[in-house]
Homo-oligomer: A and B are copies of this chain.
Amino acid sequence: MTDHLTRSPISIDALLAQVQSAERGGTCVFLGTVRREDDVTGIDYSAYDEMAISEIKRILDDAHARWAGARVMLQHRLGLVSLGEASIAIAAAAPHREEAFAACRYVIEEVKKRLPVWKKEIHADGTTTWVDPSGKPHRERLPQ
């Protein structure tokens, strides 16, 4: 069983192995990767680990209740994630593609709303910025 939180690069194959089966003809995978923006060189992810794990289990349970034939797995990476690397991966397999897409989309939207995870942008000059997705990032830069 893959951990929901990891400090290592995410393996898509490991996630797929946990959701795919011959009964499920459609699989939808979502990968969230660190995007180039201004002078950001990477993002340091941190979490309230115990709550994040509980919340992920609740989100997956919700998805399995809504789409009974679907199986969904999620892994979120913590620690420093460089530009272009994946911070999150979700794999949803279902008998048909509609449910696979819907379950995968549902899970990423709930993650954004519910997961106690935080991002600290690392800038080229070594300063850092906490990201507040509800508004603009706090531009007050704290020395690292």
Interface of A toward B, CB cutoff 8 Å: 12-13, 16, 20-36, 83-84, 95, 97, 100-101, 104-105, 108
Which residues of B have CB within 8 Å of A27? 29-33
- Measured CB to CB, the nearest residue on chain B to A29 is B29
Say whether, besides A20-B84, A101-B101, A28 and B28 are in contact (CB < 8 Å).
yes
Contact indicator B26/A29 (Cβ below 8 Å): no
Say whether, besides A28-B29, A29-B29, A30-B27, A22 and B83 are in contact (CB < 8 Å).
yes
Say whether, besides A12-B12, A30-B101, A108-B97, A25 and B35 are in contact (CB < 8 Å).
yes
In the bound assembly, the distance between CA atoms of A48 and B60 in angstroms comes to 41
Say whether, besides A101-B105, A105-B101, A108-B97, A84 and B31 are in contact (CB < 8 Å).
no
In the bound assembly, the distance between CA atoms of A94 and B135 in angstroms comes to 22
List 16 A-B pairs, Cβ < 8 Å: A12-B13, A20-B84, A21-B84, A22-B36, A24-B33, A25-B33, A25-B35, A26-B30, A26-B31, A27-B29, A27-B30, A29-B29, A29-B30, A30-B101, A32-B97, A97-B108
3 closest A-B pairs by beta carbon, nearest first, are: A25-B35, A29-B29, A22-B36
